[in-house]
Structure formats: structure tokens, C-alpha cells
Structure 1
Amino acid sequence: MKKLIQTITNTNPEGTITHVSLLIFRILLSLELIVAHGLKKIGVGVSEAEQVPNPLHLPEAFNSLFADAANLVFPVFVIFGFFTRIAVLPILAVTLTGYFILHWNDALLVKDTPFMYSLCYLFLLFMGSGKYSVDHYLRKI
């Protein structure tokens, strides 16, 4: 019983459970971003591709390419744990823009999605990808 309590209350971020949790968390989070938001932007699963908002008035081609990459390409990097902290930055750029610019005045039920994605990817930015990642393997070389 004492061992179980120690395991549950352990705050050591180097434990195996932490690395397994980071692996599962980054895979499920990124898959959800790809399926729920990325595929719609290229027209998969919908009758017509979703129009990418451009609240910062960037060149349209760049805005669309950046949003598509942030919702389709960079989450794949996060899944594999390949340059995770760098890959998270464009995702955060899109989600934080969605929260602070596009949905700031919307109802809480509308703006909670970019808020939660932003929190989750900020967590990965600070924690990194963990031991079960390409990043960890590259550090050992």
C-alpha cells in the first residue's frame, strides 16, 4: 500500500509513467487536431474545403499554406516527437490567433476549442516530447 501511495504521489517528471503519458498525450492531441481541423481545410470528409480565416491580413496563399501546415504537417512532427518544441510554435500561432483574435468576443462554447488546443500545445512546448520520441533518440547521438 505504501508503494502504491508513493507511486501515485510521485512528482518526479523523469518516471516512466510521465514519458508514456507524454507519448499518448501528444499522439492523441495531434491526431485530433488533424482529423477535426486539418482534413476539413483540404476538403477531406466535407463537401467543400473549409475557408481559412485571415484575421491578420497576410497574403492569402501564405495564410492558407501556414494554416494547412499547422493543422496537418506539424502535428505529424509532434506525433513522432521530431523537433517537437519547434513544431509546436506554428500550431500555437494558429490556435492563439484563433482564440485571441477570431473568437475573443464569441461565446465560451465557441472559443474554448482554440483555448484548449493552445493550453495543450503550450504544455508540450514546456515539457518536450519525452523519452519515447525521435528528439530523445537524436539527443543520444
Structure 2
Amino acid sequence: MKKIFFYSQSLFKDIALLVLRASAGLMMATHGWAKLSDFSAKLQSFPDPIGLGPAVSLQLVIFAEFFCALFLAIGFLTRLSLLPLIVTMCVAAFIAHGDDPFAVQEMSLLYLTVFVSLFLLGPGKLSVDGQIKTKKSY
């Protein structure tokens, strides 16, 4: 009986990580897709919060918000994919919207909290990384 309880507790943790990882990744990817699909129009008004130029800043944000977010959703190179997302959310919350009221910063801070938590917890067994790790352990 004890073994079943611990198995299901571990399974519930992996399911929770899957839900959190996939939902945060897919929701973030919609932000990146909006920027990617309207790149030339966004380029005209995109801010340059860290001094790299609007084009480079926009490209880096698209890389993080779209491509890294999709990797996060499937759990591939999870911790590596989370680094650009964490940096992007820090820049959004503390630099780009640093002088704005909390209501404007709230979304990027919420994503930042989720991304840091996932970075610390890892992707779980129900991910590409988890499956690769399982295959290597045989």
C-alpha cells in the first residue's frame, strides 16, 4: 500500500509539472507568435531596453517567447530553454516596465515566477528530457 501511495505521489508531481510546463510554454508562445507574425510592424515601435537596438531586441524576444517557449512546452532542453525566458521576463518587468504600475508588470512577474520554479524543479518524467534520461539509465 505504501509503495502505491509513493508511486502516485510521484506521478501527480510529474503530471503537475507537465501541466505547468505545457500551459506556460504554450501561452508564452502566443506572445512570441504575435511578434513573429507581425515582425516588420513591431520593429517600428519595439523598445530597446538594454541598448542592443530594436531589431536585435525584437529577435531575442521572439527567440525566447516563441522558440524557447515551445521547447519548454514539450520539455526539450528545458532548463536551457528557461534561461532566455527568465532573462526576457526580468527585462520586461524591471527594465521595460520598471516605472510602470504593478498592474502592468504583473503578467511578466507571474511568468517569471513560473519559469524560475520550473527551472528549480526540472521538467519531470513526462517530458522529452525525462524520456531521454530514462533511456540513458538502461
Residue equivalent to 1:69: 63
2:88 to 70, 82, 94: 94
Extract unaligned runs of 5+ from structure 1: none
Structure 1 residue 131 corresponds to structure 2 residue 136: no
Cα distance in 2 between the residues matched to 1:39 and 1:77: 14
Structure 1 residue 41 corresponds to structure 2 residue 14: no
Residue equivalent to 1:17: 12
TM-score (norm 1): 0.81
Cα distance in 2 between the residues matched to 1:124 and 1:136: 14
Residue equivalent to 2:25: 30
Q: State the one-letter code of the partner of 1:88.
A: L
Stretches of 4+ aligned residues off by more than 4 angstroms: none
The alignment-based identity, stated in percent, is 26
Counterparts in 2 of 1:49 and 1:59: CA distance versus 1, 3 Å: closer
Q: Alignment partner of 2:37: what SS?
A: coil
TM-score (norm 2): 0.83
Which is richer in helix? 2
Residue equivalent to 1:120: 114
Q: State the one-letter code of the partner of 1:92.
A: I
> Pairwise CA RMSD of aligned residues?
2.2
1:80 to 61, 66, 74: 74
